[in-house]
Amino acid sequence: MKNQIHEHLQDQIADVQHAAESWAPQHALTWAFERFGNSVAVSSAFGPEGMVLIEMASRVRKDFRLFTIDTEFLFPETYNLMDRIEEKYGIAIEKVYSELSPEEQESTHGAALWTRDPDLCCNLRKVEPLRRKLTELGAWITSIRRDQTSVRSSARRVEWDAKFGLVKINPIVDWTSKQVWRYIHDHDVPYNELHNQDYPSIGCTHCTRAVRPGEDPRAGRWPGFAKTECGLHIIEPVPTSPATDASKAAKFGS
């Protein structure tokens, strides 16, 4: 039953996937909002790509849903940007938290887990909260770009997310960083002040540093570790519960 439901949903996506590759970002957003209504939401950590997506989404649908994973370890500049977004776009960001407070994490897993096991820390503070959030959605919209990391190089504009069991829409998947920044300047889009201080990619305070001249833009993420992804966009098959599958099927009208 579970496989049949997933196969049916994947067939629906396969029907539009090829055509979607030539869609403009605004077309992808329009399709997503029309197809999924209130069961689709934009996911963002408020990097430059995310800000472009938020601006575009606001021009397609004023009351679009926007959520973020708040690890409780973010920079003050990131929290400040969230306040500016809520004011400019007139929306309330849906903030998703780990089930463990920072203090509970320390008492359970020891101090400064990110220095010993960043994968576990990201799993506790990002991946599991995201998994919980996505169970209430039929589709999510992200701002990943193919040239950001090797893991993202095969991403499609519209795809089935087997890891979380829902549709994933990546409107600017084929954009370059230059296009992103041109859009930001052309449309006066707000962005994180740290980008002006050599932080091209911004995550948690514990795991982000400024980059030096000539370094890869993501060299400042998890310095000292081979890690390049927090796990949100890694493709892997993960079984979901029958209840979750039934709920997904209802959202797709299957």
Q: Is 207 a catalytic residue?
A: no
CA–CA separation, 124 and 116 (whole Å): 14
Q: CA Rg, the chain, in Å?
A: 18
- Does residue number 47 form part of the binding site for ligand SF4 (CB under 6 A)? no
Query: Which of 89/114 has CB closer to ligand SF4?
Result: 114
Report how many residues bind ligand SF4 under the rule CB under 6 A: 13
Binding of ligand SF4 at residue 140 (CB under 6 A)? no
Region for residue 253 given its phi and psi (left: phi exceeds 0; alpha: psi -120 to 50; beta: otherwise): left
What minimum distance in Å lies between the beta carbon of 200 and ligand SF4?
Answer: 16
Query: What is d(CA 227, CA 196) in angstroms, rounded to the nearest whole number?
Result: 24
Establish if 199 lies at the interface with ligand SF4 (CB under 6 A). no
* Interface segment toward ligand SF4; rule CB under 6 A; list 32-40, 42-50, 121-129, 136-144: 121-129
Q: CA 40, CA 140: separation in Å to the nearest integer?
A: 5
Point out which span in 8-16, 88-96, 198-206, 244-252 binds ligand SF4 (CB under 6 A): 198-206
What strands, in cross-sheet order, belong to the sheet with 166-169?
Answer: 94-96, 66-69, 40-43, 139-141, 166-169, 158-161
Q: Using CB under 6 A, which of 16, 17, 72, 73 touches ligand SF4? A: 73
- Specify the residue, 43 or 244, whose C-beta has the smaller distance to ligand SF4: 43
Q: Which is nearer to ligand SF4, 42 or 45 (CB)?
A: 45
Residue 24, CB-side half-sphere exposure with 13 Å CA sphere: 6
* Three-class HEC string of 156-208: CCEEEECCCCEEEECCCCCCCHHHHHHHHHHCCCCCCHHHHHCCCCCCEHHHE
Say whether residue 57 binds ligand SF4 (CB under 6 A).
no
Gap between the Cα atoms of 169 and 153, Å rounded: 15
Q: Is 127 an interacting residue with respect to ligand SF4 (CB under 6 A)?
A: no
Smallest gap from residue 130 Cβ to ligand SF4 (A): 11
**Per CB under 6 A, does 203 bind ligand SF4?**
yes
Which has the closest alpha carbon to 184: 154, 143, 241?
Answer: 143
Least gap, CB of 71 to ligand SF4 (angstroms):
5
**Binding site residues, ligand SF4, CB under 6 A:** 71, 73, 114, 118, 121-122, 125-126, 203-204, 206-207, 230
